[in-house]
Amino acid sequence: MRKFYEMIVNHRKTVIVVFLVSIVICALCSTMVNVDYDMNDYLPDGTASTVALDTMNKEYDMSIPNARVMVSDISISDALKMKQKLSDIEGVEDVTWLDDVVDTDIPLETEDKDTIEDYYKDGNALFTVTINENSRIETVNAIRALIGDENCMAGTAVNTAVATQATNKEVKKIIFIVIPICLAVLFITSNSWIEPILLLGTIGVAILINKGSNLMFGTISFVTNAAGGVLQLAVSMDYSIFLLHRFEEMRKEGQESKEAMINALCKSTSSILSSGLTTVIGFAALILMRFKIGPDMGIAMAKAILISLITVFVLFPVLLLYFYPLIDKTRHKSLVPDFEKFGRVVIKLMIPAVLVFVILILPTNKGQQMNSFSYGSSKIFSTDTQIGRDTNKIEQTFGKSNNLVLMVPRGDLQKETELSDELHQIPEVSSILSYVDNAGAEVPMDYVDSDILNKLISKNYSRMVLTVDSDYEGEETFKLVEKIRSLGKKYYGDEYLLAGESASTYDLMDTITKDNQRVNAIAIGAVFLVLLITMKSISIPVILVLAIETAIWINLSIPYFAGNFLFYIAYLIISTVQLGATVDYAILLTSRYMEIRETLPKKETIIETMRTTTVSILTSASILTIAGVLLWKISTHGVLSQLGHLLARGTVLSTIIVLFVIPGMLYICDTLIRKTTVGAKFYNEKEKIIKSKVKDIREMS
């Protein structure tokens, strides 16, 4: 490695040119990366709902109804005009209303009251709209312009359109705020006014290169797009901080700048690579998920960390060598205290902290497994947002409702009638739009209007559009999906198909819950293996992984004990991200402990370790926490907001455990660590006294 670093240091201009060219190319490429906000697009190929959607798109010219539009204070005649206006909007494939199920020309009092109130109630008209997925944003905006803010719209198409527009604005806002805050943190924890600019600039280059290189994927998920840059900044900032501190240590020893940089790189390579590789592994574990948002984020973020490592090892040393004279000129008095006193506080608190830690392991592990989860997109907007308020108002007026489409092989109208009769007996099924329900099995297809017929009958399938009074997801909804599928199987074996938000969410739940244990086990095992190799110890990986995993369990058990729900995607992602991101702090502290332990007794080693590592740990943890808080507070997308909340809280918990529990575990297990670590040379006061006495005797003789 030394020869490689010498080459970097001796070819500084080449390095600068290469990175400048990369920045320009990647800046252009980043504008061409597409972002997908529809979670259903990330279901594994071959799941029942995915096959159903693909088949329906081939067989029919329209999708599943995906929006509900409520217009208040409107008469029947005006509602019919509104229906036509909605139908005329480009991107609207179909609008279903009362006139599709009853004859609105005759007095409504003669019709079934429950049927009427599914569409028209207390002067409110509820239209079921099918929006083309390729023009969701434009179509949703046009509908909003037509009905005005005083009326309501909700549904998966609306959720996706609003999320797309809001998240784009919010990501820019987060970046705009996080940069000055990170600079402020770095100004406080550094000793020069130039260092923070170099640190942030280096990671900024890495983020830009990563964003541009995402073009190789064509399209990335909204989670990767929104959280990727913030996570990369927060997670990889500590690599450059570790290198900077090593460089300053070498220079304080009197080494010339180039030699100091080469030595700093050689000495910090092991700890930085260990930190980087564990983070890469944490993200890479997501690649093994069948739910495709996992691989999407895993590949992009593993690539992001690798790019950050390359930038830190190649670009940052060159920048430091160019700017160190200016760094020296702009040095200021340290704004943070000497943490020796903090080390003495840790000595007093670490054993009680370890005891509390041990007590929390089992209940938090159990608690985080018992959370209530949301799997789909139905709860991504709170009632603080317009779409959340609209959804709540529609549900208060007309109740909870969504649509499922059951497709069965065409031809046997008698069998379809029997199936429809059984479906009508399910309490949650409020209405069915199908050939046998609306035209009747006895009516020849030649007598039915072709536009209506094409909505229900295709070349190979007959389509039944079910309106069900239920949430888009939840235990009762999932039971309903199972019940409908069992009826489909009863009449048509494996030839029936069920599509819809609830069916997709059911499959999503079934898929990602199976992913969890496998992904976590592989992430933990891989991190353990990296630590085993880099630390050359059996005991240290156990201590570090247990410490960070317990921080994760505490973080994820809090919603259970507080009675709150979790988005399963956020739960799944944070499990690996928190491990990969915060185990760095544990590695830094432990590596320095092992280094100092060679020359000092273990109590003094703890104090000196805390004195030399606390600033680096707090700097990195502060930035990661701030990034999480901003994502939590600014994002209106529930998944992203909760991911930020979990990230911020998880970082704080991991930092507390690293600063108070791990020192205690190292202290208690000191002898075990020495015996289970290859090449460990711990300071031994008794041996030193004996050697000193032997030396004195020899000198006397």
Its sign, for the CA torsion 346, 352, 354, 357, is negative
The two three-digit tokens of residue 223, written as one number: 């989670």
Q: Which three-class secondary structure state does DSSP give residue 382?
A: coil
Distance CA 482, CA 529 (A): 42
**Region 537-548: what's the mean pLDDT?**
93
Decide if 67-154 and 386-506 have a common fold: yes
**CA distances in angstroms from 33 to 23, 208, 211, 217, listed in the order given:** 16, 13, 8, 8
Percent of the chain residues past pLDDT 90, beyond the cut: 38
**Region 503-517: what's the mean pLDDT?**
79
**Phi/psi at 440 (5° precision):** 100, 140
- Which range is least confidently modeled, 27-31, 440-444, 458-462? 440-444
Residue 496 has pLDDT above 90, yes or no: yes
pLDDT of residue 699: 55
**Region 429-454: what's the mean pLDDT?**
72
pLDDT of residue 686: 58
Residue 213 has pLDDT above 50, yes or no: yes
Residue 697 has pLDDT above 60, yes or no: no
Cα angle vertex 603, ends 602, 606, to 5°? Answer: 85
Distance CA 606, CA 348 (A): 11
**Region 82-109: what's the mean pLDDT?**
87
Nearest alpha carbon to residue 506 among 419, 433, 404: 404
**Region 205-225: what's the mean pLDDT?**
91
Distance CA 361, CA 573 (A): 21
Plot region of 401 (φ>0 → left; ψ -120 to 50 → alpha; else → beta):
beta
Helix axes 195-213, 293-310, angle to 10 degrees: 140
Q: Which three-class secondary structure state does DSSP give residue 75?
A: coil
In this structure, the strands spanning 461-468 and 402-409 are antiparallel
Distance CA 627, CA 649 (A): 11
In which band, very low, low, confident or very high, does the pLDDT at 694 lie, cut at 50, 70 and 90?
very low
Plot region of 122 (φ>0 → left; ψ -120 to 50 → alpha; else → beta):
left
Assign domain 67-154 to its CATH architecture: 2-Layer Sandwich (3.30)
**Region 562-579: what's the mean pLDDT?**
83
Residues forming beta bridges with residue 126, ordered by sequence position:
70
Residue 689 has pLDDT above 80, yes or no: no
Distance CA 580, CA 84 (A): 54
Percent of the chain residues past pLDDT 70, beyond the cut: 95
Sequence-separated (6 or more) residues with CB below 8 Å from residue 347: 603, 606, 607, 663
Residue 691 has pLDDT above 60, yes or no: no
Residue 7 has pLDDT above 70, yes or no: yes
Residue 87 has pLDDT above 60, yes or no: yes
Residue 541 has pLDDT above 70, yes or no: yes
260 sits in which H/E element: helix 257-284
For the chain, the average pLDDT equals 87
Residue 687 has pLDDT above 60, yes or no: no
Residue 233 has pLDDT above 80, yes or no: yes
**CA distances in angstroms from 145 to 74, 129, 234, 600, listed in the order given:** 17, 16, 40, 72
Match 């947002």 to its residue by tokens. Answer: 385
Residues forming beta bridges with residue 537, ordered by sequence position:
677
**Region 155-169: what's the mean pLDDT?**
84
421 versus 383: the higher-pLDDT residue is 421
Distance CA 122, CA 559 (A): 39
687 versus 521: the higher-pLDDT residue is 521
Is residue 229 classed exposed, middle or buried when 0-12, 13-18 and 19+ CB atoms within 10 A define those classes?
Answer: buried
pLDDT of residue 470: 85
454 sits in which H/E element: helix 450-456
- Strands in 339-460 per DSSP E: 372-374, 402-409, 429-433
The answer to whether 301 touches 293, Cβ cutoff 8 Å, is: no
Q: End-to-end CA distance of the chain, in Å?
A: 48
**Phi/psi at 62 (5° precision):** -135, 160
Residue 353 has pLDDT above 80, yes or no: yes
Distance CA 105, CA 116 (A): 13
Assign domain 386-506 to its CATH architecture: 2-Layer Sandwich (3.30)
Match 């402990």 to its residue by tokens. Answer: 593
The answer to whether 412 touches 461, Cβ cutoff 8 Å, is: no
Nearest alpha carbon to residue 237 among 183, 188, 302: 183
DSSP string, 97-152: -GGGTS-TTS-GGGS-HHHHHTTEETTEEEEEEEE-GGGHHHHHHHHHHHH-TTSE
Match 């704004």 to its residue by tokens. Answer: 335
* pTM of the shown model: 0.81
- Which range is least confidently modeled, 380-384, 403-407, 527-531? 380-384
Distance CA 358, CA 661 (A): 10
Just give the CATH number of 2-36+161-377+507-675: 1.20.1640.10
pLDDT of residue 383: 75
Helix axes 156-189, 222-252, angle to 10 degrees: 10
DSSP string, 158-210: HHHHHHHHHHHHHHHHHHHHHHHHHHHHHHHHSSBSSHHHHHHHHHHHHHHHH
**Region 540-564: what's the mean pLDDT?**
94
Domain ranges of the chain: 2-36+161-377+507-675, 67-154, 386-506
Residue 486 has pLDDT above 80, yes or no: yes
Distance CA 575, CA 520 (A): 7
**Region 436-454: what's the mean pLDDT?**
67
For residue 515, the Cα-to-chain-centroid distance in whole angstroms is: 15
List pLDDT tens digits, range 259-300.
Answer: 999 999 998 888 788 878 878 887 888 888 877 888 898 899
**Region 113-129: what's the mean pLDDT?**
88
pLDDT of residue 344: 93
**CA distances in angstroms from 419 to 35, 402, 404, 414, 530, listed in the order given:** 40, 20, 15, 9, 57
SS3 content of the chain, % helix, strand, coil (to 5): 70, 10, 20
Distance CA 615, CA 189 (A): 7
